[in-house]
């Protein structure tokens, strides 16, 4: 559904002597987003991600048991340290 926008109806005022200009054409990024939505896809920012960062500094896939088990002690220790710290 097309939207009818008229930039003149908003009457943007100048700020500190500079004109305020707005584009109502949707642009290429907006068009790409709507194309993804129309196809039933999610945006890259909406994709689920199971990659976690361990307290030891490594990244691992939390959905893969063999990768997760080695990091359980690190994550548990980091949580204990956080619980012991006073809240500021």
Phi, psi of 21 (to 5 degrees): -120, 135
Whether 36 and 19 map to the same domain: the answer is: yes
Domain assignment of residue 25, yes or no: yes
Whether 40 and 17 map to the same domain: the answer is: yes
Kindly tell me if the per-residue pLDDT of 45 is higher than 80.
no
Domain count, the chain: 2
73 pLDDT tier (thresholds 50, 70, 90): very high
Whether 36 and 63 map to the same domain: the answer is: no
Domain assignment of residue 40, yes or no: yes
Whether 56 and 71 map to the same domain: the answer is: yes
The parent domain of residue 15 ranges over: 7-46
pLDDT of residue 82: 82
Token pair belonging to 4: 């009818």
Summarize pLDDT for 13-31 with one digit per residue, the tens.
Answer: 777 888 776 666 655 556 6
Domain assignment of residue 72, yes or no: yes
Kindly tell me if the per-residue pLDDT of 9 is higher than 80.
no
Whether 33 and 60 map to the same domain: the answer is: no
């Amino acid at each position: 559904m097309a939207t009818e926008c008229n930039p003149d109806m908003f009457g943007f005022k100048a700020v500190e002597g500079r004109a305020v200009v707005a584009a109502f054409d949707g642009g290429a990024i907006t068009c790409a987003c709507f194309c993804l939505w129309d196809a039933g896809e999610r945006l890259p920012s909406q994709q689920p991600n199971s990659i976690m960062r361990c307290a030891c500094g490594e990244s691992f896939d939390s959905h893969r048991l063999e990768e997760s088990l080695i990091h359980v002690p690190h994550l548990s220790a980091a949580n204990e340290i956080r619980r012991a710290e006073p809240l500021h």
